[in-house]
Amino acid sequence: MSDSIVSLQGVHKKFGKNTVVRDMNLDILEGEFLTLLGPSGCGKTTTLRMIAGFEETSAGSITVQGESVENKEPYQRDVNTVFQNYALFPHMTVFNNVAYGLTIRKVPKDEIASRVGAMIELVQLKGYESRKPDELSGGQKQRVAIARALINNPKVLLLDEPLGALDLKLRKQMQVELKRLQKRLGITFVYVTHDQEEALTMSDRIAVMREGVIEQLGTPTDIYDYPRTRFVAGFIGESNLFDGTVKGVEDGILQVKTEAGNLLVSGRNFEVGERLHISIRPEYVEFSKEPVEGFDVPGRVKDFIYMGTVVKTAVDLKNGQEIKYSRFEQDQTIRANDSIYLYWKPARAVAIKWGAIEEERYEEEK
């Protein structure tokens, strides 16, 4: 791709016997906000560290702006990192922390002063220049870390769970600020997080990783609405998942038999007899007191969970599975222990291929 700024080709990483990243191919586009999302141990941080140069690849190649960085030390690479726990230099003031990259490059003193001043203003830390890191709050430390990484005008900014240590409210605020900053500066951000909500809020594209493999790469909407694997469906947002077998196909609608009952889902390229997963978001699940045609998913209302903006209803299905649906308001016509029938618009549910690796993993889980 011509406008890719960082490119990973067949990148493999092993720590001893453990493979942490497997055969990864990823093109990061110029100016985009790309998030590597996954549970801990999925290889997302390792991937970031390989781009920064803190880890060597076991196989494959990484290029930045078309140039291989294989033989470049971290200090020779045109990328900068915002570290998970800020990694601010404790013996230096805010000013000197931010100025560090310029001091190393022997930039003239007055230029340092003006550039650092502008950067400190950009991250809204004016007046804090002479403080030491331990005199700052978590959010302020975070800003210093970002300013320090941006001062070198990197082509790519790598962020390793930068908001992980902040409380929820500050985190939300910083998410918005970071996103705005990225848009304003037009720098490519590669962002690592395990927080799917954060990824959905901030990213242009998300790479969902699991066990060293990118399971799905796409825009937040793509990933939320059309998860391609069972893992992605379960990891991103909340989802009700079923495993089933295709019993019939009609006009792009699959009739599926599951342990919870028969249901409908829209899906292409599925054949009768094929196994599959079905994912349906809580907001799309409907219920009725009478059976609905094509569906036979009876359940018993378990309880209502008040979440602030929505009310979730937990329903026990006949196979013991629990399924949740959400509404803005609690429906007064049903109560706990009522028998109801669940259904949805087939187009709202997603049919997911029963992949080979998927099968293996699923069997392991069982």
Partner 1 sequence: MKKKNRLPALAMAGPVSVWMILFVTIPMFFIIFISFMSRGIFGDVVYDPSMESYLTLLDSTYFNVISKSLKVAAFTTLACLGLGYPFAYYIAKRPKDQAAKYITLIMIPFWTNTLMRLNSWLLLFQTSGPVNNFLQNSGITDAPVRFVYTDELVALGMVTSMLPFAVLPMYSSIEKLNKSLLEASADLGADAKTTFQKITLPLTFPGIFSAIILVFIPSLGVYTVPDMLGGGKVLYIGNIIKNQFGMIRNWPLGAALSCLLIAITGLLIFLYTRFTSIEEMEVV
Contact residues for partner 1 (CB under 8 A)?
52-54, 73-75, 79-81, 83-91, 100-101, 104-105, 132-134, 148-149, 152
Please state the closest distance from residue 77 (CB atom) to partner 1, in A.
8
- End-to-end CA gap in the chain: 41
- Helices 138-150, 168-185: axis angle to 10 degrees equals 20
Please state the closest distance from residue 140 (CB atom) to partner 1, in A.
13
Name every residue whose Cβ is closer than 8 Å to that of residue 101 and which is 6 or more positions away in sequence: 80, 148, 151, 152
In the structure encoding, which two tokens stand for residue 359, read together? Answer: 């099968």
| Residue number with CB closer to partner 1 (40 or 221) | 40
Please state the closest distance from residue 114 (CB atom) to partner 1, in A.
19
Distance CA 20, CA 39 (A): 13
Task: Check the CA dihedral 130-133-136-138 and report its sign.
Answer: positive
| Residue number with CB closer to partner 1 (146 or 297) | 146
Distances (CA, A) of 147 to 25, 99, 157: 30, 9, 11
| Residue number with CB closer to partner 1 (80 or 313) | 80
Distance CA 125, CA 143 (A): 8
Please state the closest distance from residue 145 (CB atom) to partner 1, in A.
8
Distances (CA, A) of 355 to 133, 215, 275: 49, 11, 9
Please state the closest distance from residue 292 (CB atom) to partner 1, in A.
56
Residue 151 CB-half CA count within 13 A: 31
| Residue number with CB closer to partner 1 (150 or 317) | 150
CA 10 to the chain's CA centroid: 21
| Residue number with CB closer to partner 1 (78 or 283) | 78
Please state the closest distance from residue 152 (CB atom) to partner 1, in A.
7
Please state the closest distance from residue 202 (CB atom) to partner 1, in A.
22
Please state the closest distance from residue 91 (CB atom) to partner 1, in A.
5
> Can you tell me which residue has the tokens 């992949």?
355
| Residue number with CB closer to partner 1 (88 or 166) | 88
Name every residue whose Cβ is closer than 8 Å to that of residue 202 and which is 6 or more positions away in sequence: 33, 35, 175, 178, 179, 191
| Residue number with CB closer to partner 1 (84 or 321) | 84
Distances (CA, A) of 114 to 77, 103, 141, 163, 260: 24, 13, 21, 28, 66
| Residue number with CB closer to partner 1 (88 or 236) | 88
CB neighbourhood size of 59 (10 A): 13
